[in-house]
Structures are given as structure tokens and as C-alpha cells.
Structure 1
Amino acid sequence: MTEDPARKRLGRGLAALIGEMDRPVETAERPRASADGRVPIEFVSPNPKNPRRSFGEADLADLAQSIREHGVVQPVVVRPSPQQSDRFEIIAGERRWRAAQRAGLAEIPVIVRDVNDRTALELAIIENVQRADLNPVEEALGYQQLIDDHGYSQADLGQVIGKSRSHVANTLRLLKLPEVIRDMLVDGALSAGHARTLVTAQDPAGLAKRIVEDGLSVRQAEALAQMPAAREGGGKSSSSHEKDTDTLALEKLLTDVTGMQVSIAHKNHGGHLRIAYRTLDQLDELCRRLKQER
């Protein structure tokens, strides 16, 4: 059986993929960069399938200032536009292109590669993942796009981006979360680790709000998601909001001290205190600490 040429590229990273395609564009009708690899900035346009969608205003402003002083140090990787014969489409480096526009540059340095849609998307995802430029939702959407449009398996994706298959699977699971939680991920209010604890929760939006308001760690969020009230959702999960401020403060203090989710319920003159542990090691550690205090 003949090996799929695309598979030979898997796992070789951005530099390898660029190097493998280091050849001139041969078609006469296609645009050409100048001898020093520069093109007018208006001849370059972003890739509509670029997985990166958000560009921080502060970061763009800082990069634009740097470009005014030092120029664009790293060329933008482009390909001849599939739609317009006299234009280029960005493969990697849209942030630099946007900042260069802000800096008022007339030309930008480019590396031209004649690649198809599949390879262009591979390169875009690889560069952004390697630079940690994608938020978790953008990363997941990029993976899903490769699966839907080009038939990748999760194992193939792991090889392409240099990550484990479990990383790919866990990232894709984030797409199952409600839109309100995805927005919190994009804004940075929740980390991917926090969000993964919410995928199987009955009331993920309610738990996400609790995590943000109480400033819970990922470990504390996992413990909270495993508590019966958190799993059942509905009326029981709302009981925490009926507790007085002193009780909530005490719960948070004990949670921070133990590293496990602590819940306090008052009843008449007594009540109960519940500590949720995820592993026996956690329970052993709690017992050890209690013995030391005694």
C-alpha cells in the first residue's frame, strides 16, 4: 500500500514543514515577492480559516511600537491567494501583519510557500500552538476543523502539533461546554484545567460562576464538581448561595488550608462539615496533618 504523503509530514513541526516546501512558486500568473522577500502590505490578507480569532489590543500596540523601532524581525509566512492572482494569503504571522499595519509600514518581509488548504491550516495551528498564542477554545476549534475538513484522527493531530493524543482529546472536549463557559475561557476568567472539570457536571455554568467568584484552584474545582450537590445541580447547588457570609468565608478558609473542597451545613445548634477528597492519598495527607496538629 502506498503511504499517504501527508502522513510523512506528521510530527515534524513548523520548521520542518516550511523547509520541506522551500522552493519557488512556479506558476507565472501568481504574484512574486521582491528579491529581498518584501511585498506591499496591502497585497497581503489574513487566512479566513486561521484558528486564531482574538488579538489583544495591548499586545498589538506593544508589537506595533517595537516594529516602528526595529521593523518586522521575523517574516510572515504566506502563500499565493487561491482567490486573487495578485494577492498573498497569510499562513503564519497574522499578528505581525496587523501590528505592521498599525506601525504604518508600506511593505513587510515574507516567506512565500505554495501549499494547499490542508497544509496551510496545519502550519497555522502548529505556529500558534508552539507560541501559545491560541486560547483553549480557538485551539479546540482548530483541531475540530482539521478533523472535519481533512479527516484527521486524534492520534494524527497529536503527531502534527507535537502533543499527546490525550491532550487533543481533552482540548476537543471543551467544545461540549455551554457558550457562556467558552466565553469565560476566551476572556481568561477560566483556565482549560478549570473548564475540563466542568465537562461532565450537571450545572457547569453554575459551577463555573462559583469557581470564578471564590477564586478556586483546579484541584478545588475538581473536588467541588465531585460533590453530590454539584453533580445533582438544581436546588441543591443553589443552597450555597443561601449561606451567610461568615459560613462562606469559613468554607473558603478551610478549603484553602486543606486543598480539598469543604462544605458546612448548620442545623439548629449543630450541623455537619463535609470534606470531599479525590484520592486516598489526599485522605492520608489530611489524616497526617490532623495528627501533627494534635
Structure 2
Amino acid sequence: MEPRKGLGRGLSALLADVASAPTEEAPRRVVPDSSIPIDRIRPNPGQPRRDFDERELEELAASIREKGVIQPLILRPHPVEPETWEIVAGERRWRAAQRAGIHALPAVIRALDDTEVLELAIIENIQRADLNALEEAMGYRQLMDRFGHTQERLGEALGKSRSHIANLLRLLTLPEPVLELLREGKLTAGHARALVTVPSPEPLARQIVEKGLSVRQAEQLARAAVATPPSAGPAPVQRPTVTKDADTRALEEDLTAALRLKVTIEHRAGGRSGELRIRYGNLEELDGLCQLLSR
């Protein structure tokens, strides 16, 4: 059985493979350097990047009209349609080239399976400097869910710290309306991180956007929301404040990222027991948790 390729080959490694001398993988190459009619190129339906900035596409189209497409696309033979090719990397250039009225694009063609295509597409997108925090977090989540990569392995392969990856994955525990504000750029990643620990983050997110609050102001607002007791019902039992150690906080973050639900751990000082709490926001999240735990 062919050994599993390591994570993090990325676009540069893929191009290096094509340009290198013939090896045992030579039969995988179809055409190393081709000009492909643009109407025979199809986007990758599994492309993790969904949002393409209209202004940036127009700027790229203008550049392509003047100088052409300098960097080739990475394509593979389409798995269903004969005589067509599917994009592995370069969808932005393909979209902009259509606007520029280009009829053919330079391409490097490789024979890749679905797993390799998805992994390379995710990695290439994560390595992009203009990727927003939510897209980056979703890329990490896909790599973990689809390929079983751990946060530590991702950090090593992509040059990111485990805490950076864990903090971004925690954003995915926020409700969809808050994620939409983040996706639209109305909230920054810093604003969103401040809301992760808040019981009801959506009203605070709206308040942050409406008032144009800074990240520091959002953090103060979030701390106040967490510290404020419920307006109705019996007064909560006062518990002594316990400072959690770094290992416990890291475990909370890992479980929160893995389950996509807020997880808190209360470990009794000096003892071997405690409580693990999982907070869900709706019945769908509860149902998903039940399915996961019953596997």
C-alpha cells in the first residue's frame, strides 16, 4: 500500500513535483505545461473558499487584460466530464480571466484523487494571506474532520501555534448570525473571540456592530455579560473563585474546538473528580451531540 503523503505539501511543493526530474510518480503526470480553453475548466465543488471579493476580482481582471495570466492554474482531469478539467488551485485567476475575456489559461495538470484535491485546496487557502478568520477556521476543521489531523500536527505542518489554531476553531462554536457578521467583515476575529464565552453572544455582537466598539470594549462588554447574574430566579450559589491551570484551560479549548460546543471543566482542587459541562444553543446542537456520544 502506498504510504500516506504528509500534510503541508502545499502549492509550491506541487509545482516542484511537476518541474522535477522523472520519478516513480511520473505516470501521475498528464501534461506538465498546457494551455487549456477556459470553457473546458470547471470549479472544484469542494473548494473551501466561498467568498471572492468583487473589487479584488476586478483588479485582478484588469491586471490580466494588461499582462495576461502569469501563474498557471493547477488542474486535474474532470472525474465525470470527458475532455474537461477541474480546478485544484487558482479559482480566483479563473474567475478574473473570464471577466477579462481570456479564452485559454496556462495550467499544470496532475492526476489527483478527491482526497488529495481537497487537502491541497484547503492547505493552499490556509496559506493565503487574505484569508479571513472564519475561512481559516473552517479550513482547519475540514483538515481535522476529513483527514484526522490533530491541532499539534496542523501547527507543525503549517507553521502555526496550537493556541492559534485552537482559538480560531473556537469561533465555530458561535451561532450562525454571529458568524455571518464575521464573514461579512462587520466583526473582526478579535471581537468574535471575546464573544465565545458569552451565554448569549448574538445580542452583544449586534451591539458591537451598531456602536462600532473596539476589541477592547467588546472584551469588557463580554466580561460584564458573563459576570452578570440572571435577572430572574433564585440567586446562584456563590462558589469560591478558582484559577484554572494552563493544562485545564488548554483541554477546555481542545474539547470546545472538537465538539463545536462550549465546554467547561471544573476540577476539584486537590481531588481526582470534577465536572465537565457542555453547553448547547439549540435542539439541533443537542441532537448532534447525542449522536456523537452514542457512536
Q: Same fold (TM over 0.5)?
A: yes
CA contact (8 A) 1:189 1:212 kept: yes
* Corresponding residue for residue 78 of structure 1: 75
Segments ≥4 residues shifted beyond 6 Å: none
* Corresponding residue for residue 214 of structure 2: 217
CA contact (8 A) 2:171 2:193 kept: yes
Name the CA shift for 1:5/1:88 in 2 (closer, same or farther; >3 Å). Answer: same
- Distance in 2 (alpha carbons) for counterparts of 1:56 and 1:129: 17
CA contact (8 A) 2:72 2:105 kept: yes
- Distance in 2 (alpha carbons) for counterparts of 1:46 and 1:159: 30
- Distance in 2 (alpha carbons) for counterparts of 1:234 and 1:206: 15
Structure 2 counterpart SS, 1:111: strand
* Corresponding residue for residue 258 of structure 2: none
Structure 2 residue 95 is the aligned partner of structure 1 residue 98: yes
Picking from 108, 118, 121, the partner of 2:118 is 121
* Corresponding residue for residue 153 of structure 1: 150
Structure 2 residue 139 is the aligned partner of structure 1 residue 142: yes
Q: How many residues align?
A: 228
Structure 2 counterpart SS, 1:176: coil
1:3-51, Cα deviation, whole Å (9 max, x unpaired): 95323xx345431243246568747xx9x65x85211111111111111
Runs of 5+ in structure 2 lacking a partner?
233-295
CA contact (8 A) 2:197 2:226 kept: no
Letter in 1 for 2:166: A
CA contact (8 A) 1:147 1:153 kept: yes
- Taking only the aligned residue pairs, the percentage that are identical comes to 53
1:46-61 matches, within 5 Å, as: 46-61=43-58
Letter in 1 for 2:208: I
- Shift of the alpha carbon at 1:158? 2.1
- Distance in 2 (alpha carbons) for counterparts of 1:140 and 1:93: 20
- Distance in 2 (alpha carbons) for counterparts of 1:166 and 1:3: 33
How large is the Cα RMSD of the aligned pairs? 2.7
Structure 1 counterpart SS, 2:75: strand
TM-score by length of 2: 0.69
Runs of 5+ in structure 1 lacking a partner?
237-294
Q: Which moved more, 1:110-119 or 1:11-20?
A: 11-20
- Distance in 2 (alpha carbons) for counterparts of 1:235 and 1:14: 54
- Shift of the alpha carbon at 1:232? 3.9
1:89-114, Cα deviation, whole Å (9 max, x unpaired): 11111010001011111100111122
Structure 2 residue 152 is the aligned partner of structure 1 residue 164: no
Structure 1 counterpart SS, 2:5: helix
- Distance in 2 (alpha carbons) for counterparts of 1:53 and 1:149: 18
1:124-177, Cα deviation, whole Å (9 max, x unpaired): 223222222432222222222222222222222223332122222111111111
* Corresponding residue for residue 4 of structure 2: 5
